[in-house]
Amino acid sequence: MIVTREAIRFWRHGRVVEAAGFHPRTTLLDYLRLQERKLGTKEGCAEGDCGACTVALGRVRGGRVQYEPVNACILLLGQVDGAEVVAVEDLVADGDFHPVQAAMVSHHGSQCGFCTPGIVMSLFTLYHEGERPLTREAVNDVLAGNLCRCTGYRPIVDAALDACGGDPDDSFTQSSERTLEGLTSLADGQDVFVGGTDGFFAAPATEDSLAALYAQHPDATLVAGCTDVGLWITKGMAELEKIVWLGRVAGLDIIDDGTDALVIGATATHAQAYASLARIDADLGELMRRFGSAQVRASGTVGGNIANGSPIGDLAPALIALGAELELRRGESIRTIPLENFFIAYRRQDRLPGEYVRRIVLPKPKAHEVFRAYKVSKRFDEDISAVMGAFRLTLDGRRVASARIAFGGMAGIPKKASETEQALAGISLDEASSWGEALAAIGRDYQPLDDLRASSAYRATVARNLLFKALSETASGQTHATRIVGRRDALEAAE
Ligand SMILES: Cc1cc2nc3c(=O)[nH]c(=O)nc-3n(C[C@H](O)[C@H](O)[C@H](O)COP(=O)(O)OP(=O)(O)OC[C@H]3O[C@@H](n4cnc5c(N)ncnc54)[C@H](O)[C@@H]3O)c2cc1C
Ligand code: FES
Ligand code: FES
């Protein structure tokens, strides 16, 4: 029998902290600022966009402590169970600035200073985990979720390049063995249940515990990374009383990169799934690079992106085009459905009370199949798509034998382009004149909405143009005439 723990436990300043009796909606930011009275971590937007609240979480991965940046404003306190929490105040050691803080000073990387603690914490994670040799592009990627309104990024990027290019050597590396021991001791495999039956934060440790708890409380809110649910709390003022966090369920974050298929467990974060998705296709890698920010990718999960049923989520169209299947579990019973059948209507999914998303099975494209995915958004980084188009073309020589196409942002759900798929069967890649019927069919497949992100007419034009782009790139085998960034020919040549 699995023992239940009635408090969360995390590692802070070299010792274990226990927290019990907190409200399930309490965020990590509230804990730091209101309970610990550590005011270095700022609140800017309270919706994961500005990065002022960035802190680092240390977790044991691959036998060592790995640091990731998270937005404390939309992370629940309960989600730090088993992790080390590092806030900006913790970086100064024996009265000396941390190397990233010293570099920010010497490069004049701060003016009003409101963004600075968050930027310092993002750079702290780059200092520990960033690729070597460090590139300007890698610095830009890690700072994509940190908004600075007054300094300008040039001095901040210079500080990062100065401080984060070598082997890490700070008080955290010096105490890493002790931290590793501490974190390992926290991984007790117990279910966590803080509160009572009318209101609780629960973190089951196994799938059986999760299935049983959710069957008992089908009205509870499942939380994976909380990058969507967090906004319901901070912006929607949702009064969620029962929260079941999936982040401790053993095995639910599996990534099994097989020869023919990639299996991604529901709680695998975008950061964890990134490399395997990028290996399937360079466009999937580029999509993941542009998914939110480093903070959002560290918390947000593949399962959460599917389960929320958003019509503008980025992964659903790409995974539908690739022919993904979804595995769901309710109690003891597990079923598998084609991903496209999961989305029934706007924000309505084929999910029964007490049922949860377990894993996604993604067949890999074969040698004669071409995949393309394009995200169109107002900003390059940290922005939700206006239109997201994904295409898998099965070729028979220079002809398209069949196609799977899905779009986000074009309907109330992520939706396949069935008429367009039919119209593409048999067209010649060498005769652009044969593409007209398929390009016109996009207009029959979708009647997109007008909203703040884009007008209906804009979306319809973009979708048609993205199909034309996919066909042109497939026909020519090149992307230098169709792309400014993410050129596949350059990426493929570099491999
Ligand atoms: C600043 C910012 C930028 C973002 N950028 C992007 C972007 O570029 N592209 C994009 O597509 N999205 C983006 N998002 C949205 C969000 O990050 C993603 O949808 C993310 O994948 C959600 O995953 P999560 O684990 O955080 O979900 P959560 O917030 O934990 O949950 C989301 C929903 O799914 C349900 N749920 C979660 N896991 C399961 C499960 N296993 N079974 C059943 N139900 C489950 C929850 O109950 C909830 O209804 C952004 C969000 C923010 C705040
Ligand atoms: S306060 Fe803006 S991301 Fe958290
Ligand atoms: S220093 Fe003012 S917002 Fe960055």
What are 20-49's pLDDT values in tens digits? 999 999 999 999 999 999 999 999 999 999
Residues 6+ apart with CB under 8 A from 205: 2, 189, 190, 191, 192, 248, 249, 250
Distance (angstroms) between ligand 2 centre and the Cα of 176 equals 28
Mutate to test the pocket of ligand 2, among 27, 32, 33, 47 (most ligand atoms within 8 A of CB): 47
Do residues 281 and 274 touch, judged by C-beta distance below 8 A? no
Q: What is the mean pLDDT of residues 468-476?
A: 97
Q: Is 222 in the pocket of ligand 1 (CB under 6 A)?
A: yes
What pLDDT sits at residue 1?
55
Q: Which atom of ligand 2 is nearest to the CA of 72?
A: 4
- Largest distance between two CA atoms of the chain: 71
Q: Is 458 in the pocket of ligand 3 (CB under 6 A)?
A: no
Q: Which atom of ligand 1 is nearest to the CA of 351?
A: 43
What pLDDT sits at residue 492?
60
Ligand 3, atom 4: nearest CA belongs to which residue? 148
Q: Return d(Cα 485, Cα 283) in angstroms, integer.
A: 11
What pLDDT sits at residue 2?
67
Question: Ligand nearest 151 Cα, by number?
Answer: 3
Degrees, nearest 5: CA angle 57-63-64: 40
Distance (angstroms) between ligand 1 centre and the Cα of 301 equals 6
Q: Return d(Cα 191, Cα 249) in angstroms, integer.
A: 9
Q: What is the mean pLDDT of residues 112-118?
A: 97
- Which band of pLDDT confidence, cut at 50, 70 and 90, is reported for residue 66? very high
Residues 6+ apart with CB under 8 A from 251: 207, 265
Q: Is 357 in the pocket of ligand 1 (CB under 6 A)?
A: yes
CA torsion sign for 356, 357, 359, 361 is: positive
| Percent of the chain clearing pLDDT 70 (strictly above) | 98
Q: Is 382 in the pocket of ligand 1 (CB under 6 A)?
A: yes
Distance (angstroms) between ligand 3 centre and the Cα of 147 equals 8
* 371's tokens: 């995949």
Do residues 359 and 273 touch, judged by C-beta distance below 8 A? no
Q: Distance of alpha carbon 190 from its chain centroid, rounded?
A: 27
Q: Return d(Cα 290, Cα 305) in angstroms, integer.
A: 14
Distance (angstroms) between ligand 3 centre and the Cα of 143 equals 13
Q: Is 114 in the pocket of ligand 3 (CB under 6 A)?
A: yes
Q: Return d(Cα 72, Cα 53) in angstroms, integer.
A: 5
When the pLDDT of each residue in the chain is averaged and rounded to a whole number, the result is: 96
Is the pLDDT reported for residue 493 higher than 90? no
Residue-level length of the chain:
495
What pLDDT sits at residue 227?
98
Question: Ligand nearest 210 Cα, by number?
Answer: 1
Q: Which atom of ligand 3 is nearest to the CA of 149?
A: 3
Q: Is 295 in the pocket of ligand 1 (CB under 6 A)?
A: no
Question: Ligand nearest 55 Cα, by number?
Answer: 2
223-227, 275-279, 329-333, 380-384, range with the lowest pLDDT: 380-384
Q: What is the mean pLDDT of residues 438-462?
A: 95
Q: What is the mean pLDDT of residues 80-90?
A: 98
Does pTM surpass 0.85? yes
Distance (angstroms) between ligand 3 centre and the Cα of 156 equals 10
Q: Is 313 in the pocket of ligand 1 (CB under 6 A)?
A: yes
Q: Which atom of ligand 2 is nearest to the CA of 51?
A: 3
Distance (angstroms) between ligand 1 centre and the Cα of 304 equals 4
Is the pLDDT reported for residue 430 higher than 90? yes
Q: Which atom of ligand 2 is nearest to the CA of 46?
A: 1
**Strand-pair partners of 461:** none
Q: Which atom of ligand 3 is nearest to the CA of 151?
A: 1
Question: Ligand nearest 148 Cα, by number?
Answer: 3
